[in-house]
Every structure is written in structure tokens, then in C-alpha cells.
Chains A and B, each alone.
Chain A
Amino acid sequence: MTEKTVLVDIDGRGVATVTLNRAEVHNCFNEAVVIGLRDCFDDLAGRDDLRAVVLQAEGKSFCAGVDLNWMKEIGTFTEAENVADAKRMAGMFDKLNTLPVPTIAKVQGSAFAGGLGLIAACDIAVAADHAKFAVTEVRLGLIAAAISPYLIAAIGAGAARRYFQTAERFDAAEAKRIGLLHDAVPAAALDGAVDGILANILKNAPASLRACKRLIGECAGPITEDIQNDTAARIAAIRATPEGQEGISAFFEKRQPAWMAGTEG
């Protein structure tokens, strides 16, 4: 591997910047990225001097979700391998969600499917106002699974019922309205907006923040291991179905999947 897929930098203030570094494929995640993120979050969680984490991405897109090349490969897996892969993904989101310090998603471009999971699992999300969003899994015969607990916690069941089922694109203003984002600002103002929130966080007492974040999670209802295992089982099951296989095949064959015949895209 020549280029690292996940970059981490920790500055003198204790602010870690984690960068998705696969711009050429819209920062979609494959096995290496999931492991890279998981290990990086694991390492950050153990640092007592950490004050905040910013999750950002290189290039035009923030994150296009799961790499379909990887998804295609999973089609050749045994059931046990398939489930193990899905659990690894769920575990990565859990580690991000439970990082003990405040986390900020700095969303410079569009995000789809699993990319929305990364945003929703952060405490605070700010995006450039040209970014677009969609929960696209059902277009491919799949479901939003591992990301669902985080996304539903952020946008509520009402918005989830719409966007999980329509897979329609929505803009940053709508993403802010439904709660995925806390702010949408012109691209040129994104750095300043994130720095402003960080400046506020760095005025706050570190142990208070850790206690506060933990309490909010507990009071709101923790995303338990049972929930994570359940979502992993659901995605593992659906991607092995004929519909799931058809959706991924259609994508690579650049044709409409069978269920779309006779409809307008």
C-alpha cells in the first residue's frame, strides 16, 4: 500500500484530525478503511490528553459509503465471513460514537449511505452548503443497517421513514432541518465554522465534557452490543439475497436493476 487511507494528526492542543484519504474513490470505505478507522478511534479513545476530534475528508466528496468493489467481493464470502465483516463495520461506528471527547464532522462535500453514518456518529456536524446527501442503500437492493441507530438518533424516525425508503437526494439546508447537520455554511467559511466550535469546546473542562457526553448517551439510550449485532446480521442477510446480488451486479454492469424496469429513475 503506497498511500494511507486514514490519516491522523494530533496537535498541541489535543485536537485530533482524522482524514479520510481516498479522494479518487470519493472516500468510500473498504476493509482497509474500516480497519484503519477502527484502530485509529481505538487509539484515540485511550489518550488522556485528547480534547476533541475532527473527522474530515480529502477531495470533492466527504464519503460515498461502502466501496461496492468490496461489497462485490463479500458476495463470494461464506456466511460466517459475511457476518464477521458486517460486525466489524458496526464496531467501527460504535467506536466513533463512543469516543470519550467531543467529535466534529467537517463535511466538505457530499455524503451518501455509510458516509451519513460517519456524520451521525459524530457529536457535531457542519457541512459546506453545496453538499448533497442520500441514504442510497435501497437503490442497490441493500438496507441502511450499521448506520441506522446513529442516523435515526440524529434525524428521528419521521425523517428516516422518508429518506431511508425514497433514497432521494437532499441538500445541506434540509440536512440541517432534519438534524443530520448542526450548520451548513458556504465552503469558504467551513474552516472558520469548525474552528469556532472547537474554540468553544477548548474553553470547557475536559473531565466535565467526558462525563457529560457519557451521560447524554446513557440517558438517550445506549446503542448496545445487541443492537450492533442485530444491524450486522440484517446487512449480512440482505446482501446475500438475490435482490442484493442483483443490485450490485446491475451497478457494475451499468444497467438498471430488475426492479427498476419500466420506472423513471
Chain B
Amino acid sequence: MSNEVLVTVDDRGIATLTLNRPDALNAFNADQIAGFNAAMAQVTADPAVRVIVIAGSGPVFCSGADVRYLKWAGGLSYEENKVDARKYAAMGESVYAASQPVVARVQGGAYGGGVAVAAACDIVISESSAKFAITEARYGFTPSLMVPYLLGRIGQRECRRWCLSGETMPAADAFRIGLADIVVDDSLDDKVAAVVDSLLMNAPVALAESKASVGENGYPPIDAAMIERTLDAFVAGRGSEQASEGADAFIAKRPPRWAMEADA
């Protein structure tokens, strides 16, 4: 088992998945995605697990997809790209579909795919100093896979703004629009522990039924057709010439050719 994602399950049934590539600010690459999916499969199938906490080691929760991984995926054939993209999409799907409540512990920041994973969680708890940004378009691809979860959390209005502008927002804005549910000035761990304690007071089956009921009746409904549509958009995006330019520019530490310097 890789150590890209650490898994612990304590005797109260609290499973903690820790993204563990701190040197890369926990950017998702193929190994970490596989590790995450394996860990989610393990803990969601474990009848002893009552709550799942998703955390990141180091200064930042998750900086999104690793640009080198995206570049690699962009070079695949459309079909191979889509097979791989399904694994990326499976992270959000497994969090959203887990019968146990899933809590995101966000320190430092969540960017791109890091926002996607957080958005799919039931409760997002963030440090007040953390930053959020939906940065995909900066690199020439699209935040397609998270759109269903974002629409459910922040609605179309805020989705349009933050997906199109790629602006960085402070945790206070993330809280205001519904991307973060709880923002704390003091100890993040204390708050996560308190929320987990309250979840453990609730009946597991009732929690599972409640979560399913909210998911099934939410708008928009996140069904197979929605997932397929977002996958196609994501695959087309990261296979595009723009995505290739975005990755090259990032690696070469130069602005991509579309970037304009404006006076603001």
C-alpha cells in the first residue's frame, strides 16, 4: 500500500484519510488518486466506520491536480484519458455517495481539485486563514467534475463567478457562499473533534438514510447522466491544446500565452 494517502480507523469508528504529499502541497497525481480511491473503498465498506474525516498533511489541505499528472493525462488518447478521468471523478463520487458522513478538515487552502473533494463532503471545516480558488481555467482546462457538487453547495450564481474568474477567496467568502460550513479562528482539530463527537451521537442507519435522502432529492440530481456529461467536458478540456500550453507554462514558470496583464 502506498503512503500517498494515510488511513487510520480508531476504536470509535472515526476513519481519517490524510492526503500525504506535503512537499507537493498534496497535489493529486495518479498514485495519490489511486490511494484515495482504495482508502475510500476500504473505509466505506468497513461496518465499524461511522465518520470519515478527510485531511491533508503539511501547510495546505490540497492544491488540486498535479500539473505534471495533467500533462501526462492530456497526452493520452481520448479513451485512455477518459478511463483515467473516471478515477479522478471517483474521488468526489465516493465521498458524496459514502453512507457515512464525511468531514473535510481544511488548513491553509484548497485549490482546483482540492475544492472538488471538499465540495463533495458533507461538512467542510476550515481555518479562517485558509484560501479557496477554482483555478482550472488558469491552466487551460475546466473544473467540470466538481460542477455538480458546487451547484449543490453554492448554486449556479456563485458557481459562475468563481469558476470563470478563478479568483482566490478568503475562508470568510467560502463560508458566506456555502463552500465552507464552519470557519474557525482557533484550533481546527478541536472543532473537527467537536463536530465528529456530535455525529457520533447520531444513529448510524439514520445518518445513512438522511444523507441518501438529501442526495436523492437535491438539485441538480447527481445521476449517471450528469457524471458522464461532466466527464466528457473534463476529458476534452485536459486533452486540449490549451491545457497542454497551461501545463507547459506552469512547468516553465512563465505566463500561458492567453494570460493578459491587466492593471488591477
Contact = CB atoms under 8 A, between A and B. Distances in A.
Contacts of A102: 160, 164-165
A102 to B, nearest CB: 4
A94 B240 CA distance: 28
B137 A215 contact: no
A220 B264 contact: no
Interface in A200-241: 200-209, 211-213, 215-216, 218-221
Contacts, number: 128
Classify chain B: how many residues form its interface, as a range.
35 or more
Given A153-B157, A202-B259, A205-B140, A213 B164 contact: yes
B175 to A, nearest CB: 13
Of A102, A156, A203, the most chain B CB neighbours within 10 A belong to A203
Contact of B260 (A13, A215, A218): A13
Interface stretch (A60-68, A82-90, A190-198, A252-260): A190-198
> Residue among A195, A209, A213, A215 with the most chain B CB within 10 A?
A215
B211 to A, nearest CB: 21
Nearest to A177: B176
Contacts of B140: 205, 207-208
Given A205-B242, A212-B142, A215-B229, A179 B158 contact: yes
A74 interface: no
A208 B165 contact: no
Contacts of B157: 153-155, 179, 182
Given A153-B156, A182-B161, A205-B256, A219 B166 contact: no
A123 B258 contact: no
Q: Which of A154, A196, A219 has the most CB of B within 10 A?
A: A219
Nearest to B164: A102
Nearest to A218: B229
B7 interface: no
B123 to A, nearest CB: 22
A124 interface: yes
Contacts of A155: 157
A123 B164 contact: yes
Given A199-B262, A219-B230, A207 B161 contact: no
A207 B141 CA distance: 8
B59 interface: no
B43 to A, nearest CB: 28
A8 B158 CA distance: 27
A213 B262 contact: no
Contacts of A216: 147, 151, 156, 159-160, 163
B21 to A, nearest CB: 25
Given A206-B258, A211-B233, A215-B230, A198 B151 contact: no
Interface in B207-264: 220, 226, 229-230, 233, 236-237, 240, 242-243, 245-246, 255-256, 258-264
A206 B240 CA distance: 12
A154 B164 CA distance: 16
B161 A124 contact: yes
A128 to B, nearest CB: 18
Interface in B71-111: none
A179 B163 CA distance: 16
Contact of A205 (B137, B147, B262): B137
Given A124-B165, A196-B264, A197-B165, A220 B151 contact: yes
B28 interface: no
Interface string A159-199: 00000000000000000000100100000000010011111
Given A199-B261, A212-B163, A215-B147, 14 more contacts: A155-B157, A192-B264, A199-B264, A201-B164, A203-B258, A204-B137, A204-B166, A205-B140, A205-B258, A208-B240, A211-B237, A219-B151, A219-B220, A220-B151
25 contacts: A102-B164, A123-B161, A124-B161, A192-B264, A197-B167, A199-B260, A199-B262, A200-B165, A201-B165, A202-B260, A203-B166, A203-B258, A204-B164, A205-B140, A205-B243, A205-B245, A207-B240, A211-B236, A215-B233, A216-B156, A216-B160, A219-B151, A219-B220, A219-B226, A220-B159
